[in-house]
Amino acid sequence: MNDSFIVTGITLIYLVAVLWLGLRARSQSASSLEGYVAGGRHVGVVILFFILGAEIFSAFAFLGAPGWAYKHGSPALYILAYLSLVPIVIWSMGPRVSELGRKRGYLTQGDMLADHYDSKPLGIFAGVIGVLALVPYLTIQIAGAGLLFQAATDGLVPFWLGALLALLVTTAYVFCSGLSGIGWTNLMQGIMMIAIAWFLGLAIPERLYGGVGEMFSQIQLQMPEYLTMPGATGMGWGAFSTAILISAFGGAMWPHLFMKFYSADSGRSLRRVSVLYPLYAYLLVPLLFIGFAGILAFADTPLERPDTVLLKLVMEVADFPPWIIGLMLSGALAAAMSTGANLAHTAGVVLVRDVFGATLMRNASDATAVKVTRWSVVGVSLLAYVIALLNPSSLVMLLLGAYGLIVQLMPMALGALFFRSLKRHSVLAGATVGSLLFLLFQFAVDSPFGWHAGVWGLLANVAVVALFQVAVAKKPATREAAA
């Protein structure tokens, strides 16, 4: 039998299994908006662990992370560094967000901001920014699925069909089951991802070099610049450190993270997840090994696309049998689809709840809101699929830039959670100035010292918030003195 048919068959069996589990997970609570969006706010530790893991580990895990290690070397360790900060975010923010959501009925980040600052336009603003940031993120998951199918099946399943198959499966169970479907499929896909990542991460160095230790010894002898900072491409400590900060703080502001905090059955469960979270983060370690394995394997014929290093090693260099390639494809698809389902679900909810709910659907019933949300998931997914087919080269840049923009919501969100004296005008002015400065350094002017442009935007953001707060604090005193 042709190897491509074996690979395709294994992958189709996996897709059918995911679809079956996602549809079976549908519960009665999915008929209400709170049930469809937040699982009735009774999601426990195990499902939360895998849902929050899927929020982070996307198609980037199997494509981008190995590609970054292959191209840059040691600077790729920034990924592990920023992931070490994620548990702190979950521990400190999660319980507070969950508590406020339960007390006040919040379902989105925009709900919290609009209520705290008593400003519906602010909620709409947060919703629009959220959707604009989520669509390219979702597009990359769909494009990643298409690329994986095309490469692993040697073109038997073309890019457009592979992307469409992944899209149809995820959209179907998100449409029908909401968060319940996402949670149970993420459990299955998370276990698969971890097992396959560790198998490939250890098997590839073993086949090519005799083991992970021997691999690094050979790199040290032949191409040592890949094992020291600033790496093979000159990523300095400033860029390295600020990339860690923006990835951690910006990641904490993604609207899909807030929605999963709302779904928790208690703050205690979220704190338990934060303690266990590094176990999921270890998924990236073997995938980085794969990237390092490609440094010497492709030293004479460098890859044009670094993000294909895992596919090239598995299919052309390590000479794995087709059933291993099929499992590899299924594991990589699990990463793309688990994140894609979360993103499509969140984008649909945010669009209806924060944008339509405050404008066109102010008086809509709960049943109508659920119905429109389901179809919004379909619409957003199809939009992302069309963009993936167009394949604009700037998509990755847009996603990287989205972190710099999303992080500008940080003072605003922290004000609603912990610093309740912050005023609406202060945080709006700070977010505006910070976003504009970020865009300036990201696209028009070189960022000073090579730092991530988002850091300069955030520093300006905080400074403007502080200045406005001081100005607001002085006004009552002036009036009182005049009286």
CA distance 71 to 83: 20
69 and 174 part of one domain: yes
* Residue 414 belongs to a domain: no
Of 28, 382, 341, the closest CA to residue 189 belongs to 341
Are 447 and 390 in a shared domain?
A: no
The answer to the question of residue 111 being in a domain is yes
Q: Are residues 71 and 103 in the same domain?
A: yes
User: Which tokens belong to 337?
Assistant: 């689809």
Mean pLDDT of the chain: 85
Residue 215 lies in a domain: yes
CA angle 189, 195, 198 (to 5 degrees): 130
DSSP 227: G
Task: Give the integer Cα–Cα distance in Å for 18 and 191.
Answer: 13
- Domain containing 435 equals 421-483
Q: Which structure tokens are listed for 158?
A: 């073309």
Rounded to whole angstroms, how far apart are CA atoms 25 and 36?
12
Q: What is the pLDDT at residue 483?
A: 33
pLDDT recorded at residue 213: 94
- pLDDT value, residue 127: 86
Q: What is the pLDDT of residue 215?
A: 96
The pLDDT-based confidence of 29 (bands split at 50, 70, 90) is low
Question: Highest mean pLDDT: which of 106-120, 138-152, 389-403?
Answer: 106-120
CA–CA gap between residue 38 and residue 123 (Å, rounded): 19
Is 481 a residue whose pLDDT tops 50? no
Highest average pLDDT, of 31-35, 36-40, 322-326, comes from 322-326
| Cβ burial, residue 386 (10 Å; 0-12/13-18/19+) | exposed
The total domain count for the chain is 2
Averaging pLDDT over each range in 241-250, 313-322, 451-460, which range is the top one? 451-460
Quick check: 477 pLDDT over 50?
Answer: no
* Mean pLDDT across 54-65: 76
43 forms bridges with which residues in the sheet?
A: 264
Query: Could you tell me how far CA 386 lies from the centroid of its own chain?
Result: 20
281 occurs within a structural domain: yes
Whether residue 398 is found in the same domain as residue 430: no
**Predicted confidence (pLDDT) at residue 249 exceeds the cutoff of 80:** yes
Task: Label residue 24 by pLDDT band (50, 70, 90).
Answer: confident
Residues 151-176: what's their mean pLDDT? 88
Instruction: Tell me: pLDDT of 395 over 60.
Output: no
What does the pLDDT read at residue 397?
A: 57
Residues 386 and 441 in one domain: no
CB-CB contact of 113 with 124 (8 Å): no
Together in a domain, 215 and 249: yes
Packed helices 284-297 and 65-72: angle between N→C axes, nearest 10 degrees: 40
Residue 294 shares a structural domain with residue 434: no
Same domain? 392 vs 435: no
Q: Which residues of 433-467 are buried (b: 16+ CB within 10 A; e: fewer)?
A: bbbebbeebbeeeebeeebbbbbbbbebbeebbee
Is 34 contained in some domain?
yes
| 411 within some domain | no
pLDDT at 394 over 80: no
What pLDDT, on a 0 to 100 scale, did the predictor assign at position 290?
94
Give per-residue pLDDT as tens, 361-391.
Answer: 777 887 888 889 899 999 999 999 998 888 6
- Residue 442 near residue 453 (C-beta atoms within 8 A): yes
- Residue whose C-alpha is closest to residue 316's, from 344, 339, 293, 289: 293
Q: Which band of pLDDT confidence, cut at 50, 70 and 90, is reported for residue 120? A: confident
- Is the pLDDT at 482 greater than 60? The verdict is no
CATH of the domain at 322: 1.20.1730.10
* CA-CA-CA-CA torsion sign (276, 279, 284, 288): positive
According to the model, what pLDDT value does residue 35 have? 81
Whether residue 410 is contained in a domain is answered as: no
Rounded Cα gap, residues 275 and 268, in angstroms: 11
pLDDT tens per residue across span 41-55: 888 888 888 888 876
Shared domain check, 429 and 347: no
Q: What percent of the chain has pLDDT over 70?
A: 94
The verdict on whether omega for the bond into residue 321 sits within 30 degrees of 0, i.e. cis, is no
pLDDT exceeds cutoff 50 at 479: no
Among the candidates 370, 403, 436, a domain finishes at 403
Question: For residues 13 and 258, what is the distance between their CA atoms, to the nearest angstrom?
Answer: 33
Residue 413 inside a domain? The answer is no
Choose one of 369, 403, 437: the last residue of a domain: 403
Convert the pLDDT of each residue in 194-214 to its tens digit: 888 899 999 999 999 999 999
- 399 with 425, same domain: the answer is no
What was the pLDDT predicted at 392?
Answer: 54
- Residue pointed to by tokens 């999601």: 43
The DSSP annotation for 74-109 comes to GGGGHHHHHHTTHHHHHHHHHHHHHHHHHHHT--SH
The verdict on 233 and 169 lying in the same domain is: yes
**The tokens of 461 are what?**
């953001």
Compute the distance between CA of residue 338 and CA of residue 192 in angstroms, rounded to an integer: 11
* Mean pLDDT, residues 430-439 taken together: 89
For 264, phi then psi, to 5°, come to -65, 145
